[in-house]
């Protein structure tokens, strides 16, 4: 996705200092820390940006943070990683304290560079295409589960079922492991995974590290979950090494992401350790579960509330991929409008509405002088839902992503401004895989079922809840099987 370069720095005489920026008022000692509500922090940051502008100061206890909502400046910072900016080291430190091994998501500098090469070797489009039959098998399991729910006129817990789908998919194609939570009804690994990201998010934002002194029941459950997930990961890696040793031909054409990573890690100059391999398996399980499942849930919700878009998406599926039992990679490539629906969903409901960075050198962001070590919140959604930058920004209009010749033919304003997968060297390596997962699930849903209703807990609009990723809270869905 195209992004814009950061604007040229202002004249030195007109530069502003961080301490001089406007921002929400605070109180002694705490600053604005007492106002922060983690489940809605993204909306608080966006709201303050409307009040104080695209650059403002946020004081959290002793720390002064810069908040940036200008998409050009955000894109410039993302493109200046890992040399000019890095993720907050709080993510790395809290993750290590929880017992999480380092992966490409949380690593920086040279450790990130060598892991990036390994991960990209497994995520390139040619490898993902080879995994397609495994992905198609999992989507047929999801179809079977939803057929049973439709026959019983049962309410589907949308988030839970989509999490099962993404866990089964990533375990099968990434690790060559058969984790069948969709058909077995067992979701032990999913339950363990579901504790980790929210706990990491809460601890990153916590004003006091109470868990270092006393463990609450939730903290003890988290510790048990991490032990269980790490044991499962060790089993995945041991099984993959055994397959490679038993069949050396697999090294030339690894059939799953884990074996591709192990082959890349075994290269003489890779420098990748066993802990880093394990860390990237954990990263794929966590990120592969949450992000894709949340985007699918939001997409189903938005299509249900926009019948014309839903009808157009279904017509495209029936024209190009009508039979879920015979899905092909080439068919998924023809679903341009369905892909546009996914991009429009991610513009309005990005699973990562903001990102946190730290400046690694004295620099200038927009017209603000930024000293080395300054923490920065980058608002990734602010401008993409602003009428000044995107026409009819509040509306769900997938056609804005289409142009003559296909979705990628013209780079319009939405494509330049929306950055759901990030930007620059650290753009999400799994974006191609995520889009394929989304298309498969949606093509199956629209081809095989009618959506009777998607309901929220209170009957109103879906609530955005932030727990590391942003998800719709409590959606249920009822389906009717199409004849």
CATH of the domain at 444: 1.10.630.10
- Range list of β-strands (E), 308-443: 354-359, 363-365, 368-370, 375-379
Predicted confidence (pLDDT) at residue 198 exceeds the cutoff of 70: yes
Q: Which residues contact 414 (CB under 8 A, 6 or more apart)?
A: 343, 344, 347, 384, 390, 400, 401
Judge whether 188 and 458 are in contact, CB under 8 Å: no
Report how far Cα 300 is from the mean position of its chain's Cα atoms.
Answer: 17
The backbone torsions φ and ψ at residue 99, rounded to the nearest 5 degrees and listed phi first, read 100, 15
Please check whether residue 1 is in contact with residue 423, taking contact to mean a CB–CB distance below 8 angstroms.
Answer: yes
Most confident of 286-290, 404-408, 439-443: 439-443
Residue range 453-472: average pLDDT? 93
Q: In what order do the strands lie in the sheet with 449-455?
A: 156-157, 476-481, 449-455
For 279, the token pair is: 């860390």
Alpha-carbon distance of 233 to 249, in angstroms, equals 24
- Give the pairing of strands 363-365 and 368-370: antiparallel
Which letter, b or e, does each residue of 466-483 get, where b requires 16 or more Cβ atoms within 10 Å of its Cβ?
bbbbbbbeebbbbbeeee
SS3 state at 472 = strand
Whole-angstrom CA distances from 58 to 26, 51, 68, 372 are: 9, 13, 11, 17
DSSP assignment of 239-299 equals HHHHHHHH-GGGGTS-SSHHHHHHHHHTSTT----HHHHHHHHHHHHHHHHHHHHHHHHHH
Is 327 within a domain? yes
Chain centroid offset of residue 206 CA: 22
Q: What are phi and psi of 245, to 5 degrees?
A: -70, -35
The tens digit of pLDDT for each residue in 31-90 reads 998 899 999 999 999 999 999 999 999 998 888 999 999 999 999 999 998 889 988 878
* Average pLDDT for 214-228: 91
Tell whether 79 is covered by a domain.
no
Whether 303 is covered by a domain: the verdict is yes
Are the CB atoms for 24 and 58 separated by under 8 Å? yes
- State how far the Cα of 416 lies from the Cα of 464, in Å rounded to an integer: 24
Whole-angstrom distance, CA of residue 279 vs CA of residue 236 = 12
Average pLDDT in the 120-144 region?
Answer: 82
CA atoms lying within 13 Å on the CB side of residue 366:
21
Q: Does 248 reside within a domain?
A: yes
16-17 and 368-370: which strand pairing?
parallel
Token pair listed for 347: 């513009």
What predicted TM-score, i.e. pTM, was given to this entire model? 0.86
Does the residue 88 lie in any domain? no
Return the pLDDT at 405. 41
| 160 in Cβ contact with 474 (< 8 Å) | no
- Each residue's pLDDT tens digit, 284-342: 777 667 789 999 999 999 999 999 999 999 999 999 999 999 999 999 999 999 999 99
CB atoms within 10 A of CB 341: 27
Domains contained in the chain, number: 1
Region at 102 (left for phi over 0; alpha for psi -120 to 50; beta for the rest): beta
pLDDT of residue 368: 96
The whole-chain average pLDDT of the chain stands at 86
Question: Do 49 and 69 touch, CB atoms closer than 8 A?
Answer: yes
Residue 447 lies in a domain: yes
Given a cut of 60, whether residue 387 has pLDDT beyond it is yes
Average pLDDT estimate for 103-126: 68
Region 109-131 average pLDDT: 70
Cα–Cα distance between 61 and 68 in angstroms, integer?
A: 19
Alpha-carbon gap, residue 207 to 90, rounded angstroms: 12
Task: Kindly state whether residue 89 falls inside one of the protein's structural domains.
Answer: no
Mean pLDDT of 427-450: 91
Residue 190 predicted with pLDDT over 50: yes
Domain span including residue 152: 103-351+392-481
Tokens of residue 199, six digits? 């706990």
In a domain? residue 57? no
């Amino acid at each position: 996705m195209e992004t814009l370069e950061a604007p040229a720095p202002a004249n030195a005489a007109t530069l502003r200092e961080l301490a001089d920026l406007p921002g929400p008022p605070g109180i002694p000692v705490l600053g604005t820390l007492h106002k922060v509500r983690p489940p809605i922090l993204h909306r608080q940051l966006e709201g303050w940006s409307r009040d104080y502008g695209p650059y403002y100061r946020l004081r959290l206890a002793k720390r002064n943070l810069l908040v940036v909502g200008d998409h050009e400046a955000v894109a410039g910072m993302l493109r200046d990683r890992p040399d000019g900016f890095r993720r907050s080291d709080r993510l790395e430190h809290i993750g290590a304290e929880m017992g999480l091994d380092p992966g490409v998501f949380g690593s920086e500098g040279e450790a990130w560079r060598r892991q990036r090469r390994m991960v990209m070797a497994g995520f390139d489009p040619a490898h993902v295409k080879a995994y397609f039959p495994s992905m198609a098998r999992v989507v047929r399991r999801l179809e079977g589960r939803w057929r049973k729910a439709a026959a019983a006129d049962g309410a589907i817990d949308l988030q839970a079922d989509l999490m099962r789908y993404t866990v089964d998919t990533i375990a099968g194609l990434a690790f060559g492991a058969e984790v069948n939570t969709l058909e077995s009804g067992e979701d032990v690994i999913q339950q363990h995974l579901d504790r980790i990201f929210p706990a990491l998010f809460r601890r990153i934002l916590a004003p006091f590290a109470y868990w270092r002194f006393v463990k609450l029941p939730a903290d003890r459950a988290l510790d048990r979950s991490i032990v269980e997930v790490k044991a499962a990961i060790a089993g995945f890696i041991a099984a993959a090494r055994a397959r490679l040793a038993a069949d050396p031909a697999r090294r030339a054409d690894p059939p799953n992401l884990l074996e591709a990573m192990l082959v890349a890690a075994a290269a003489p100059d890779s420098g990748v350790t066993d802990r880093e391999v394990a860390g990237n398996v954990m990263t794929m399980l966590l990120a592969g579960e949450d992000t894709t499942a949340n985007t699918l849930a939001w997409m189903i919700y938005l299509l249900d509330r926009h019948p014309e878009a839903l009808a157009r998406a279904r017509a495209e599926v029936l024209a190009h991929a009508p039979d879920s039992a015979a899905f092909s990679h080439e068919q998924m490539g023809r679903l341009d409008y369905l892909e546009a629906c996914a991009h429009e969903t991610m513009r309005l409901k990005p699973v990562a509405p903001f990102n946190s960075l730290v400046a690694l050198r004295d620099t200038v962001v927009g017209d603000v002088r930024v000293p080395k070590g300054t923490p920065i919140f980058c608002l990734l959604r602010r401008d993409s839902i602003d009428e000044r930058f995107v026409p009819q920004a509040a509306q769900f209009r997938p056609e804005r992503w289409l142009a003559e010749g296909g979705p990628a033919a013209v780079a319009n304003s939405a494509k330049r401004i929306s950055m759901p997968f990030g930007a620059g060297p650290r753009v999400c390596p799994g974006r191609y895989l995520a889009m394929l997962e989304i298309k498969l699930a949606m093509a199956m849903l629209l081809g095989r079922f009618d959506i009777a209703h998607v309901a929220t807990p209170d009957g109103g609009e879906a609530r955005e809840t932030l727990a590391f990723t942003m998800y719709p809270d409590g959606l249920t869905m009822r389906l009717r099987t199409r004849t």
